[in-house]
Amino acid sequence: MKSQYAQEKGQGLVEYSLILVLVAIVVMAVLTILGPQVGSVFSRVTIALSFGSGPITSVTAERTGHGAGNDVTIEVTVSEDVSVTIKDSQSGQTHTMLCSGSCHFTFTGVGTSSGTITASGGGGSMSADYSVKSS
């Protein structure tokens, strides 16, 4: 009687193992077929969540005149066509433009202190600092 019970217990373990192998094969088949689409969606979601920048991928801001000028040149790079509003923290100046790939703008007469440029559009925003180089 004892040996029949031990065999039934082993049979249950084999059945569970076979079910797990079958599930693993189905999951691998589904991922092989849908893998690229899932990866693309995952990448877009990760980028959007990690930066909160929407289509804005980068912002740079530099003073003219090798860093000693009174104007700031801004470059905004976007992943899709979007209307972008840029704002200077020091002078309060704002400008809105349509960006496709990348766009450039220069704020004139921003002042002599360091500041921050914030670009917003498409549901996200990014910032870049600019400073004054000392002579």
1-55 pLDDT per residue, tens: 555 555 566 778 888 899 999 999 999 888 888 777 777 777 767 655 655 557 8
Q: Is the pTM of this model over 0.85?
A: no
Long-range contacts of 130-135 (CB under 8 A, 24+ apart): 130/61, 130/62, 130/63, 130/72, 131/63, 131/67, 132/63, 132/67, 132/68, 133/63, 133/66, 133/67, 133/68, 135/68
| Model pLDDT, residue 134 | 62
CATH topology of domain 56-130: Immunoglobulin-like (2.60.40)
Q: Which residue has the higher pLDDT, 10 or 64?
A: 64
